[in-house]
Amino acid sequence: MKPYISVAIDGPAGAGKSTIARRVASELGYLYVDTGAIYRTVGYHMSLMGIGPKDTDGIRRCLDDVNIEIRYGEDGLQHMMLNGSDVTDQIRTPEMSAMASGVAAQSCVRDYLLEMQRALAKTNNVVMDGRDIGTVVLPDAPVKIYLTASEGVRADRRFKELTAKGENVRYEDIYTDIVKRDQQDMNRPIAPLRCAKDAVVVDSSYLSIDQVVAEIKAIIRKKAEA
């Protein structure tokens, strides 16, 4: 039987991973898995419980009560279900970005989510985006991309995305959040954000979405032909 193909896309916050990965997945007919949304959902649960991102014992205790399900809606989007409720919108605030990055540094959280992510890749062709997909979750993925962009460009994109949604945010705050989150994600002891040795680096700073999608599809085609 033909094995399922996994495309791993890692990179820092705001590099355009989800937009690009969603497009590539839809054009190839693969399942798109946004793993950041899974960490955000855990972070959201902890914040509802009043548990801070550094409270290892509290987080470990509360993980037993976390039932996460991913549903793919008719809109084609990945919906995050937390204990039966759709929390897709609630997990997208700057507070939940920071909370997700915090709980993601806890080994109990990473262990808890590892199998869930691997199971999706075992039963589907996937484009999976995150921070440790090519290095830890799917180290044997035949296609690995490290998608990055300069800090300024990433902050600018995030600022435009949030203001377009009507959120009242300051560019300086977004920039500081991005730099802080990168530092936290790159310097944690477990599964830090790293470019896998066999990943292809794509810098999206001066490329359009269409150009990045085309570049990644070309990389996938080349790997498939190799």
165 versus 222: smaller Cβ distance to ligand DC: 165
CB of residue 113 vs ligand DC: minimum separation in angstroms? Answer: 8
Which listed range, 31-39, 81-89, 150-158, 170-178, lies at the site for ligand DC (CB under 6 A)? 31-39
Burial of 189 (0-12, 13-18, 19+ CB in 10 A): exposed
User: Considering the rule CB under 6 A, would residue 39 count as an interface residue with ligand DC?
Assistant: yes
Member of 22, 23, 40, 144 binding ligand DC (CB under 6 A): 40
Report the distance separating Cα 181 and Cα 23, nearest Å.
25
Checking DSSP bridges between strand 31-34 and strand 126-130, what pairing results, if any? Answer: parallel
CB of residue 138 vs ligand DC: minimum separation in angstroms? Answer: 10
Which listed range, 30-38, 46-54, 56-64, 207-215, lies at the site for ligand DC (CB under 6 A)? 30-38
Beta carbons within 8 Å of 223's beta carbon, 6+ residues apart: 142, 143
Token representation of residue 102? 């915090």
Beta carbons within 8 Å of 164's beta carbon, 6+ residues apart: none
User: Which strand (E) or helix (H) includes residue 202?
Assistant: strand 200-203
Give 130's strand partners. 10
Member of 78, 101, 106, 148 binding ligand DC (CB under 6 A): 101
Which listed range, 70-78, 93-101, 157-165, 217-225, lies at the site for ligand DC (CB under 6 A)? 93-101
CB of residue 124 vs ligand DC: minimum separation in angstroms? Answer: 17
Report the distance separating Cα 23 and Cα 26, nearest Å.
5
**Positions that interact with ligand DC (CB under 6 A):** 13, 35-37, 39-40, 97, 100-101, 104, 130-133, 181, 185
